[in-house]
């Protein structure tokens, strides 16, 4: 459902992503795990057609993100890192706007609206002004706008960041409910989030895929945390080596 | 195309719950009103003087030289043109900058709509609000048509010029708003672009020959004043439509460059 092939993205002199390749199968929930600045948001923006990659290619629902971004956009729901909300609108008004933006059939809209309000626990907040909602509820509205048109692919960028523990559990439960029917790629810098929600983890580190791991393959002896630290320390020693070798060349 | 209307509808609803928008509307109406009353008073004085002259000199022609159109209405319209230079950027500054600062442009640009839909939607919303600004002038027109009997065609032409110029400032402001997420910067960029389009007319006065003619024709003041004198020309209409299309296209390119970067 999602295929990234040798994606590279540079911002001026900075290389945010280099040679990133991975796949996500239909119906899978995959966690994109990495520290801040690892390149998670950049990858997701490329997959949603928001940014063009500097080189490489990606396909979402069978469409190329560089050649056919319009078709990609028709098949995705996306929750950016900051939920894209208009604070002066009501929850219902906003979701109706999203339904039109996503070009859903007019006849389906009332049903989709009720479904999303119900699913995201927003039924009793439908007439609230978004700007007056708590952060947890705003995140639910953000999630609702990503799923309301029932897209085959759902992309969520750090969906639980900044929430309190109760809200985190609620949002994770919501996401888990979307498995099966939808393909979900979510990013996080929280290790436990991946084990709690995802079937597979892709670890990104400094713009590269450092490791892929199926959650059920994790043994009791080796937690995801250990795998993560191992992968990252390997990279640090590699950096050290390259630095010393550069120094020796300079001498 | 329908998506443009989706964007426009949402924007119009948001405009009408924004206090800043009511302040702009109120200030425009207030300043226009004050200027209208002052012009009216001045016109009244001129009229009385002319009446005295006409009686003294037994010359009824003196009265005919006092034209309500030239001395009052075109004055009011010209002042509104000057006000629009400042008020339109105050409306347009939020149109795209706010989408950027609150992150909603990420929703727009990952939805199955085109950059044109976004640009046109915002533009339509701006035109709707701007038309509302002009409607505040209806009161003055009612007074003027009740008080005297101005020729309707030059009035219509003056307001058409005002509309065309205002929409040009809108297109410029929309473009400025696409450049930055900072509304204050967007305001000043559109103000300076508008002033620039106005000031090339001044440059024309200090030069001569073809360059002068070209600069004069390129200045928005010159084109607007023709309309305000009652001269609706094809070249004037072409000028305004060119300005709109140019800045709307520039806005589209600017929006697209966000995702292409
Ligand atoms: N628009 C941008 N312009 C310049 N640099 C950027 C931009 N977006 C991200 N970066 C840089 O690219 C790197 C990866 O960022 P990002 O993809 O946001 O990482 P993550 O989401 O994993 O925290 C970081 O070093 C960040 O500073
Ligand atoms: Mg990020």
Tens of pLDDT, residues B61-94? 666 666 777 668 888 889 999 999 999 999 999 9
Q: Which residue of B has its CA nearest to A145?
A: B107
As a whole number, the mean pLDDT across chain A is: 87
- Residues near A20 by beta carbon (within 8 Å), at least 6 away in sequence: A4, A6, A7, A8, A39, A43, A56, A204, A207, A208, A209
Residue A183's beta-bridge partner residues? A153
What token pair was written down for A39?
């390149």
**Running DSSP on this structure, what letter comes out for residue A216?**
G
What pLDDT score does A246 carry?
A: 36
- Picking from B223, B208, B3, B256, the residue whose alpha carbon sits closest to that of residue B124 is B3
Q: In this model, does residue B59 exceed pLDDT 80? A: no
What pLDDT score does A251 carry?
A: 32
What pLDDT score does A183 carry?
A: 93
What token pair was written down for B70?
């030239």
Cβ pair B172, B194 in contact under 8 A? yes
Chain B partners within 8 Å of A49 (Cβ): 109-110, 259
Please give the C-alpha separations between residue A54 and each of A20, A43, A63, B228, in angstroms, as whole numbers.
12, 12, 18, 52
For residues A20-39, average pLDDT: 92
Q: Residues lining ligand 1, CB < 6 A? A: A 11, 14, 16, 34, 36-42
User: Environment class of residue B62 by beta-carbon count within 10 Å: exposed (0-12), middle (13-18) or buried (19+)?
Assistant: middle
Interchain pair B106, A89: CB under 8 A: no
Angle at B83 between CA B79 and CA B88, to 5 degrees: 145
Greater pLDDT, A247 or A123: A123
Specify the DSSP element, H or E, that contains B74. Answer: helix B74-101
What pLDDT score does B190 carry?
A: 97
CA of B231 to the centre of ligand 1 (A): 55
Q: Which residue of A has its CA nearest to B17?
A: A88
Q: In this model, does residue B28 exceed pLDDT 90? A: yes
What pLDDT score does A211 carry?
A: 81
Q: In this model, does residue B54 exceed pLDDT 90? A: no
| Atom nearest to A42 CA in ligand 1 | 17
d(CA B86, CA B115): 27
At A127 the three-state DSSP class reads coil
Specify the DSSP element, H or E, that contains A184. Answer: strand A183-188
Q: Which residues of A touch B (CB under 8 A)?
A: 48-52, 70, 73-74, 76, 78, 80-89, 93, 97-98, 100-103, 145
Pick the range with the lowest mean pLDDT from A174-183, A198-207, B187-196.
Answer: A174-183
Measured in angstroms, the CA of B179 and the nearest CA of chain A are apart by 17
What pLDDT score does B143 carry?
A: 82
Cβ pair B146, B72 in contact under 8 A? no
Cβ pair A214, A199 in contact under 8 A? yes
Measured in angstroms, the CA of A209 and the nearest CA of chain B are apart by 23
ipTM confidence score: 0.88
Instruction: Scan for tokens 């001129």, then name that residue.
Output: B46
What token pair was written down for A48?
């949603």
Task: Locate the domains of chain B by residue range.
Answer: 2-18+67-260
What pLDDT score does A237 carry?
A: 47
What token pair was written down for B136?
């505040």
What pLDDT score does B41 carry?
A: 86
CA of A171 to the centre of ligand 1 (A): 25
User: Environment class of residue A214 by beta-carbon count within 10 Å: exposed (0-12), middle (13-18) or buried (19+)?
Assistant: exposed
- Picking from B75, B95, B98, the residue whose alpha carbon sits closest to that of residue B158 is B75
What pLDDT score does B64 carry?
A: 62
For residues A160-184, average pLDDT: 85
Would the CA dihedral through B238, B242, B245, B248 be positive or negative?
A: negative
Cβ pair A71, A48 in contact under 8 A? no
User: What is the per-residue pLDDT across B130-159, written as a single tens digit (0 to 9) for each?
Assistant: 999 999 988 888 888 887 778 888 889 999
What pLDDT score does A243 carry?
A: 40
Chain A partners within 8 Å of B17 (Cβ): 88
Residue B19 contacts A where some CB pair is shorter than 8 Å: no
The backbone torsions φ and ψ at residue A206, rounded to the nearest 5 degrees and listed phi first, read 50, 50
Pick the range with the lowest mean pLDDT from A60-74, A163-177, B152-166.
Answer: A163-177
Q: In this model, does residue A175 exceed pLDDT 50? A: yes
What pLDDT score does B50 carry?
A: 79
Angle at A86 between CA A9 and CA A77, to 5 degrees: 50
Interface probe for B, chosen from A86, A105, A129 (most Cβ of B below 10 Å), is A86
Q: In this model, does residue A242 exceed pLDDT 60? A: no
What pLDDT score does A219 carry?
A: 61
What token pair was written down for B175?
């473009």
For the whole model, what pTM was predicted? 0.89
Strand order in the sheet with A63-64: A14-24, A2-11, A55-60, A63-64
User: Environment class of residue B256 by beta-carbon count within 10 Å: exposed (0-12), middle (13-18) or buried (19+)?
Assistant: middle
User: What is the per-residue pLDDT across A141-153, written as a single tens digit (0 to 9) for each?
Assistant: 999 999 999 999 9
Q: Which residue of A has its CA nearest to B258?
A: A51
Would the CA dihedral through B13, B17, B18, B19 be positive or negative?
A: positive
User: What is the per-residue pLDDT across A67-93, written as a single tens digit (0 to 9) for each?
Assistant: 999 999 999 999 999 999 999 999 999
């Amino acid at each position: 459902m999602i295929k990234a092939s040798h994606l590279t993205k540079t911002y001026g002199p900075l290389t945010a992503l280099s040679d990133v390749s991975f796949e996500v199968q239909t119906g899978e929930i995959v966690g994109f795990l990495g520290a801040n600045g690892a390149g998670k948001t950049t990858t997701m923006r490329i997959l949603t057609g928001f940014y063009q990659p500097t080189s490489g290619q990606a396909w979402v629902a069978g469409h190329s993100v560089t050649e056919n971004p319009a078709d990609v956009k028709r098949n995705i729901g996306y929750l950016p890192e900051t939920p894209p909300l208009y604070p002066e609108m009501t929850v219902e008004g906003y979701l109706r706007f999203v339904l039109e933006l996503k070009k859903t059939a007019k006849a389906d809209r009332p049903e989709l609206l009720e479904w999303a309000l119900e699913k995201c626990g927003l039924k009793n907040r439908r007439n609230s002004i978004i700007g007056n909602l708590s952060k947890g509820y705003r995140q639910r509205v953000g999630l609702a706008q990503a799923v309301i048109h029932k897209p085959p692919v759902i992309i969520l960028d750090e969906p639980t960041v900044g929430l309190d523990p109760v809200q985190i559990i609620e949002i994770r439960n919501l996401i888990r409910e979307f498995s099966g029917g939808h393909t979900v790629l979510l990013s996080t810098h929280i290790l436990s989030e991946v084990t709690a929600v995802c079937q597979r983890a892709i670890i990104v580190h400094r713009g590269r895929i450092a490791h892929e791991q199926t959650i059920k393959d994790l043994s009791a002896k080796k937690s995801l945390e250990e795998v993560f630290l191992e992968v990252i320390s390997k990279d640090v020693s590699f950096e050290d080596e390259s630095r010393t070798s550069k120094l020796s060349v300079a001498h | 195309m329908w998506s443009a209307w989706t964007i426009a509808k949402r924007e119009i609803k948001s405009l009408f719950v924004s206090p800043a928008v009511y302040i702009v509307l109120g200030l425009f109406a207030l300043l226009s009103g004050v200027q209208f009353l002052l012009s009216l008073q001045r016109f009244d004085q001129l009229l009385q003087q002319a009446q005295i002259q006409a009686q003294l000199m037994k010359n009824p022609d003196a009265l005919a030289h006092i034209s309500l159109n030239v001395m009052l209405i075109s004055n009011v319209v010209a002042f509104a043109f000057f006000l629009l230079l400042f008020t339109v950027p105050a409306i347009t500054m939020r149109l795209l900058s706010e989408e950027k600062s609150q992150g909603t442009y990420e929703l727009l640009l990952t939805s199955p709509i085109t950059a044109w839909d976004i640009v046109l939607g915002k533009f339509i919303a701006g035109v709707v609000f701007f038309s509302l600004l002009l409607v505040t002038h209806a009161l003055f027109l009612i007074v003027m048509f009740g008080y005297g009997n101005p020729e309707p065609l030059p009035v219509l032409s003056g307001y058409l010029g005002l509309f065309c110029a205002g929409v040009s400032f809108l297109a410029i402001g929309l473009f400025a708003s696409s450049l930055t997420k900072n509304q204050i910067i967007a305001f000043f960029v559109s103000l300076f672009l508008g002033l620039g389009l106005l000031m090339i007319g001044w440059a024309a006065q200090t030069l001569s020959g073809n360059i002068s003619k070209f600069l004069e024709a390129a200045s928005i003041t010159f084109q607007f004043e023709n309309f305000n004198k009652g001269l609706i020309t094809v070249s004037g209409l072409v000028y305004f439509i060119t300005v709109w299309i140019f800045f709307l296209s520039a806005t589209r390119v600017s929006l697209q460059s966000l995702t292409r970067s």
